[in-house]
């Protein structure tokens, strides 16, 4: 049982993580304040890239180091299970050790984050507790009971989240809470059919009583590849986002909002995938239609959120789409290439380019050193990756 504090413990900023690692909050705060090197300019955002294996981590580092970006790699429970051969706790060891070794040789500062950790289920608790020791940031997603698939009362969400803050903040590990329910499906951990907006009336209480410095409010984003009806633009509740920002800034202007479901989906990637599926022929006609029907969130809407303090933007689906599109391209290029490394390289080079594209869009470059490429001239095109 963690120590009970009369008020939530503040984040221990004296904690020095080894090897070019920082709490996610420290990197996101730099972004909210527009700090790069010793200059202060426009606000930018910290994309949180969900990674699921060693290649994903390598691709993320390639992108961060190409641009001199602040980097954030997020691991979901199911990603950790995947990395650990079925055991998320072993996956956590593998992921955190590998990132630490990469970070020690890196030119940039990075953070590691547990995505959608919950403190409700036995298994969820075990993973969150281990993540507080192994990573630099954790999400305590207690707005929904994932086992019983039901929203949790505010008191319970506050209670569970506060327990995580009590444990993590004294160690300098930042905590992200969630208030409201986000719809959509990213993987088995994040499936919900309904979405409820964050209630402004509940926000101040949640922030004060939990002490979190990062919060995912729900303002209309969704997880997954089908965020809206094909042919229609997804509309987020930007006025609500600004209303929430005013309340949060009134409590502590270092609070960072987090946009889950921030994948915009690159139209060129979709077109490339459709082109590859059409080249594969008739059996893939239905799959080509499925790709055409995917709907991401408009980047203009995400930019609106960044303006409202959403400086951590979670993108998973669009990078998975890039991976899959590149796999289809690799099959079309050479389906007789009996070499796993060649296939993997095609996919992960593409994902690296996808990360670079998002970091440029988010304004997250030149933070730790000048970019090694001309960001104005960068073109993300799977034909040339
Ligand atoms: P997307 O499904 O839009 O990539 O969202 C990912 C996410 O929110 C991870 O927490």
pLDDT of residue 192: 56
Q: For 65-87, how does the pLDDT look when each residue is reduced to its tens digit (9 = 90+)? A: 999 999 999 999 999 999 999 99
Domains and CATH numbers, the chain: 24-264+296-316 (3.20.20.70)
Dihedral angle sign, alpha carbons of residues 250, 253, 255, 256: positive
How many Å lie between the centroid of ligand 1 and the Cα of residue 253? Answer: 25
CB of 115 within 6 A of ligand 1: the answer is yes
- Give the closest residue to 313 by CA, choosing from 302, 322, 321: 302
CA angle 234, 254, 198 (to 5 degrees): 40
pLDDT of residue 4: 55
Q: For 21-52, how does the pLDDT look when each residue is reduced to its tens digit (9 = 90+)? A: 999 999 999 999 999 999 999 999 999 999 99
CA angle 43, 264, 142 (to 5 degrees): 80
pLDDT of residue 33: 98
315, 351, 362, best to mutate for ligand 1 pocket (most atoms within 8 Å of CB): 315
Task: Give me the residue label for tokens 């890196």.
Answer: 106
How many Å lie between the centroid of ligand 1 and the Cα of residue 14? Answer: 31
Averaged over successive runs of 10 residues, the pLDDT of the chain (385 residues) comes to 72 94 98 97 98 97 98 97 98 98 98 96 96 98 80 93 98 96 61 74 96 96 90 91 97 97 95 97 95 94 97 97 98 96 96 98 98 98 95
Structure tokens at 296: 């991401």
pLDDT of residue 1: 44
pLDDT of residue 190: 53
CB of 315 within 6 A of ligand 1: the answer is yes
pTM given for the model: 0.95
How many Å lie between the centroid of ligand 1 and the Cα of residue 319? Answer: 10
List, in sequence order, the alpha helices (H) in the chain: 24-33, 54-67, 77-83, 88-104, 122-134, 154-168, 200-210, 238-251, 267-280, 285-293, 299-307, 317-333, 340-361
Which uninterrupted H or E stretch holds 111? Answer: strand 110-117
């Amino acid at each position: 049982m963690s120590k009970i504090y009369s008020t939530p413990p503040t984040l221990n900023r004296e904690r020095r993580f080894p090897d070019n690692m920082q709490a996610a909050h420290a990197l996101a705060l730099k972004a909210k304040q527009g700090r790069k090197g010793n200059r202060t300019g426009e606000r930018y955002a910290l994309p949180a890239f969900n990674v699921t294996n060693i290649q994903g981590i390598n691709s993320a580092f390639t992108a961060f180091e190409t641009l001199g970006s602040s980097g954030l790699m997020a691991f979901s429970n199911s990603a950790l299970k995947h990395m650990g051969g079925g055991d998320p706790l072993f996956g956590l060891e593998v992921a955190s050790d590998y990132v630490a070794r990469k970070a020690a040789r890196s030119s940039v500062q990075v953070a590691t984050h547990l995505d959608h950790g919950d403190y409700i289920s036995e298994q969820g608790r075990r993973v969150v507790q281990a993540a507080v020791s192994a990573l630099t940031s954790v999400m305590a997603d207690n707005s929904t009971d994932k086992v019983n698939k039901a929203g949790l009362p505010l008191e319970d969400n506050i209670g569970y989240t506060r327990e995580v803050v009590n444990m993590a903040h004294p160690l300098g590990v930042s905590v992200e809470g969630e208030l409201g329910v986000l719809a959509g499906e990213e993987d088995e951990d994040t499936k919900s059919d309904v979405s409820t907006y964050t209630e402004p009336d509940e926000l101040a209480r949640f922030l004060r009583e939990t002490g979190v410095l990062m919060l995912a409010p729900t303002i209309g984003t969704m997880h997954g590849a089908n965020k809206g009806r094909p042919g229609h633009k997804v509309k987020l509740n930007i006025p609500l986002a600004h209303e929430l920002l005013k309340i949060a800034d009134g409590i502590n202007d270092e609070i960072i909002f987090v946009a889950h479901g921030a994948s915009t989906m690159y139209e060129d990637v979709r077109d490339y995938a459709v082109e590859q599926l059409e080249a594969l022929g008739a059996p893939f006609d239905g799959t080509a239609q499925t790709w055409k029907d995917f709907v991401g969130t408009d980047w203009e809407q995400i930019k609106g959120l960044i303006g409202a303090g959403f400086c951590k933007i979670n993108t998973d689906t669009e990078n998975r789409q890039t991976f899959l599109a590149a796999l289809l391209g690799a099959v079309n290029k050479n389906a007789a290439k009996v070499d796993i490394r060649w296939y993997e390289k095609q996919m992960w080079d593409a994902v690296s380019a996808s990360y670079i594209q998002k970091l440029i869009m988010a304004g997250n470059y030149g933070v730790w050193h000048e970019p090694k490429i001309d960001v104005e001239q960068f073109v993300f095109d799977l034909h040339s990756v």
